[in-house]
């Protein structure tokens, strides 16, 4: 049995709930612009001390000063789930000890010049819950 698209609805969640959803997940995508094209890279993350630490297979030089990170959990069959986007100033983690810690704790896809660790200080966090229309009334 499938749900018709008209029976689905997006409901905005509070910033606190969006952060809670972000903290409870570990897989997302880093989104940035490079050479006038939007680039999407898979990433792992952890939320620590009010900052988002992200490990992604992207060149450090390509990461902009302001980064956007997107996380979602969609259950297509049920037509439910959530999506959260966080954006803010980003910096590449260059301290060897700190980088070693996050390399041990965040699973990566590659090692070498395209294995980047970022620290994002989220300034904007938005989230939406996806639900059936009858659940949101």
Domain containing residue 56: CATH number: 2.30.110.10
* pLDDT: which is higher, 131 or 49: 49
Does pLDDT of 135 surpass 90? no
- For 3-37, write each residue's pLDDT tens digit: 555 577 889 999 899 999 999 898 999 998 888 88
* Contact by Cβ (8 Å): 77, 135: no
Does pLDDT of 91 surpass 60? yes
Question: What's the domain count of the chain?
Answer: 1
Percent of the chain with pLDDT over 70: 89
Q: Which domain holds residue 107?
A: 5-135
> For residue 109, what is the DSSP state?
S
The token pair that represents 120 in the structure block:
């994002």
Helix runs in the chain, H state only? 15-23, 96-105
- For 108-124, write each residue's pLDDT tens digit: 766 666 789 999 999 99
At 43, give phi and psi (nearest 5°).
-155, 155
pLDDT confidence of residue 114 = 78
Q: How far apart are CA 103 and CA 12, in angstroms?
A: 34
Handedness of CA 129, 50, 48, 65 (dihedral sign): positive
pLDDT confidence of residue 112 = 65
């Amino acid at each position: 049995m499938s749900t018709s698209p008209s029976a689905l609805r997006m409901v905005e969640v509070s910033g606190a709930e969006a952060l809670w959803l972000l903290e409870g997940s570990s897989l997302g995508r880093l989104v940035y612009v490079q050479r006038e094209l939007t680039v999407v890279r898979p990433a792992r993350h952890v939320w620590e001390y009010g900052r988002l630490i992200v490990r992604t297979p992207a060149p450090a030089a390509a990461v902009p000063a302001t980064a956007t990170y997107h996380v979602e959990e969609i259950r297509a069959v049920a037509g439910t789930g959530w999506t959260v986007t966080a954006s803010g100033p980003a910096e590449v983690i260059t301290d060897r000890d700190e980088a070693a810690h996050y390399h041990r704790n965040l699973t990566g896809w590659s090692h070498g010049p395209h294995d980047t660790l970022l620290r994002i200080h989220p300034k904007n966090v938005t989230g939406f819950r996806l639900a059936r229309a009858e659940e949101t009334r």
